[in-house]
Structure 1
């Protein structure tokens, strides 16, 4: 898959230990205090560094945001790949159900992942670079998901339909799950049936 210019810029250099510490602190603050609490001074305090030291590595808050979001999305994608590699499911239906159940599970509680994504969504509405990173992440996420579930045995039109069904459902479910009448197992079975129908009921 081709990377956007923003993604390539983020990936060109691996962060140093101090840069990693700064990005870890930025993510921690984003989760705990939200976008409004993410200031250079608070990041410096969290990292036990002087403000000038933080600014040596990242000139602005936007620079930290861009690097932090890019790194976070890389970690999320790696976790999804690892999850699929460690699974023991064999048939297409089992793979789809496994992914669906894994994707929906985030909706049962307000996890750190949910908090991080909600803040990133909010930032992306005002920041074109972060928005581009977010859209690129969803494209990668959907490709990994469909490749695992259907093992390339699916045409492009069906791939697009499945992406358009599953990704929005997962994200919306993470916000609304606790208000919905069906239990997660029933919802997962329903969504698996829908996905298999779109894909032509491959066994």
Structure 2
């Protein structure tokens, strides 16, 4: 990695930390520059404005997240003997109620930004298109309905972090219900 790429990665990490810890309301170019121990003009050499920086952070985060999910799915596929056990393992890992993880906090910030910024919204949509295609490809070896399976599970997993604590079923019961539904897709 070149010195420029290292500096860009440092800036991205600092921005990510501010977003997760303090939210968008506390993020500014001046704050990032200060936390990264650099001048504002030096930061602007790498990222001309906050939108450019945010898009770089989001792209970096989604690349990390996509790789993380792909690795988890692949490991789970290798360790499970059938589609049902695979589904149970993945849902158990990915259903996180209450957004109590850094991953959930970052997604909430990204979605909040996407509601106010069309460029970020477009970046988010492109990520999800790619993410869905990747998931469909990975699970296609187990189910004749990979598109339908992804269409049911992916939005549910995303939304569970927001309202999972409010459901009348516990996590185990939700997993049982989702597995039964997916297994019986016609």
User: TM-score normalised to the size of structure 2?
Assistant: 0.90
**Could you tell me which residue of structure 1 aligns to residue 42 of structure 2?**
53
Q: Which moved more, 1:176-185 or 1:22-31?
A: 176-185
**Could you tell me which residue of structure 2 aligns to residue 44 of structure 1?**
33
1:160 Cα offset (Å): 3.3
**Could you tell me which residue of structure 2 aligns to residue 147 of structure 1?**
137
Coordinate RMSD, CA, aligned: 2.0
1:171 and 1:117 mapped to 2: Cα distance? 9
8 A contact 1:96–1:192 mirrored in 2: yes
**Could you tell me which residue of structure 1 aligns to residue 71 of structure 2?**
82
SS in 1 for 2:38: coil
1:160 is the counterpart of 2:159? no
1:151 Cα offset (Å): 1.5
Query: Structure 1 residues 133, 165: CA separation in 2 closer, same or farther (over 3 Å shift)?
Result: same
Structure 2: 5+ residue stretches without partners: none
**Could you tell me which residue of structure 2 aligns to residue 67 of structure 1?**
56
SS in 1 for 2:116: coil
1:44-65 Cα shifts (integer Å, max 9, x gaps): 1111111111011010001100
1:130-157 Cα shifts (integer Å, max 9, x gaps): 1122112222222333333331752xxx
Query: Structure 1 residues 75, 82: CA separation in 2 closer, same or farther (over 3 Å shift)?
Result: same
2:137 and 2:120 mapped to 1: Cα distance? 26
SS in 1 for 2:81: coil
**Could you tell me which residue of structure 2 aligns to residue 6 of structure 1?**
none
Match for residue 89 of structure 2 among 94, 98, 116 = 98
User: TM-score normalised to the size of structure 1?
Assistant: 0.83
Query: Structure 1 residues 86, 164: CA separation in 2 closer, same or farther (over 3 Å shift)?
Result: closer
**Could you tell me which residue of structure 2 aligns to residue 8 of structure 1?**
none
Structure 1: 5+ residue stretches without partners: 1-14
- Runs of 4+ in structure 1 deviating by more than 3 angstroms, as ranges, are none
